[in-house]
Amino acid sequence: MKQEIERYLSKNQHTALNIKAAFFDMDGVLFNSMPYHAEAWKRTMNAHNIPFELHDAYICEGRTGASVINEMFLKHKGRMATEEEIQLMYKEKSDCFNSISKVERIPDILPLLETLKADGVDIYIVTGSGQESLLDRLNKWFPDIFSKEKMVTAFDVKKGKPDPEPYLIALAKSGVKPNEAFVVENAPLGVRSSVAAGLFTFAVNTGILTTEELECEINDSGIVLKDMKAVREYYLKELRVEN
């Protein structure tokens, strides 16, 4: 047994990992969309005289749009944004994102998903996104993998990541125990959320962050890996439940 699994089991007082479900973030995990989100946030924030760099977007990733805006308002304006400001800025950011983005799957994510589906593992998406067309886009790029009832989005949460709420909702929806699922995340706040929910977590560095920025959130509850191919290999060797 891998040391990181032993540490997870010891920390959470489980005897084994018996995988029945897998929870996936979306941006930076399923789609290589974070470069476009980061640029859209930077342009929008700067247009409203709020200092914001691409790195800030990756650090904030996982929060709802309203949460990102409020975080920056508190930091740079000393107050929360009004509802009107939130609506305006999020629309500007969304419009910018839609004008510059290209849809690209993260390399090697589809073979991982297909392997899990073939093994009978329930696959859920847990995202801070609130895009109305989300399921249509998922079905186009990941046919027959995701379903509406197996999604947790911005519409389902009150707090969102880094609070454990999204992953606790996923656990409740799936009906599995924390030691019966794993998470694939790429953002520090997403990792913090899943770890706080008691889940074994793969942190995959698909963006511009340092490995250390992800490792500091793992907290004896998972492992940082370089890509989705490595996640699939780890699952097959260490987590697969033989039927």
Binning the chain into helix, strand and coil, the percentages to the nearest 5 are 50, 10, 35
Spatial contact of 165 and 159, defined as CB atoms under 8 Å apart: yes
Residue with tokens 């290999």: 233
* Cβ atoms 64, 153 nearer than 8 A: no
Long-range interactions of 147-153: CB distance < 8 A, separation 24+: 149/173, 150/122, 150/123, 150/124, 150/125, 150/174, 151/124, 151/125, 151/126, 151/127, 152/124, 152/125, 152/126, 152/127, 153/125, 153/127, 153/128, 153/129
Per-residue pLDDT, 224 = 97
In this structure, are residues 194 and 201 in contact, taking their beta carbons and an 8 Å threshold?
Answer: yes
Give the strand pairing for 122-126 and 222-225.
unpaired
Instruction: Give the residue extent of every domain in the chain.
Output: 3-33+105-239, 34-100
103, 31 contact by CB (below 8 A): yes
Q: Are 120 and 91 in contact (CB under 8 A)?
A: no
Pick the CATH number of 3-33+105-239 from 3.40.190.10, 3.40.50.1000, 1.10.10.10, 1.20.1300.10: 3.40.50.1000
Which segments of the chain have a pLDDT < 70?
Answer: 1, 131-133, 242-243
> What is the reported pLDDT for 113?
98
Instruction: Give me the CATH code for the 34-100 domain, please.
Output: 1.10.150.240
Distance CA 193, CA 89 (A): 25
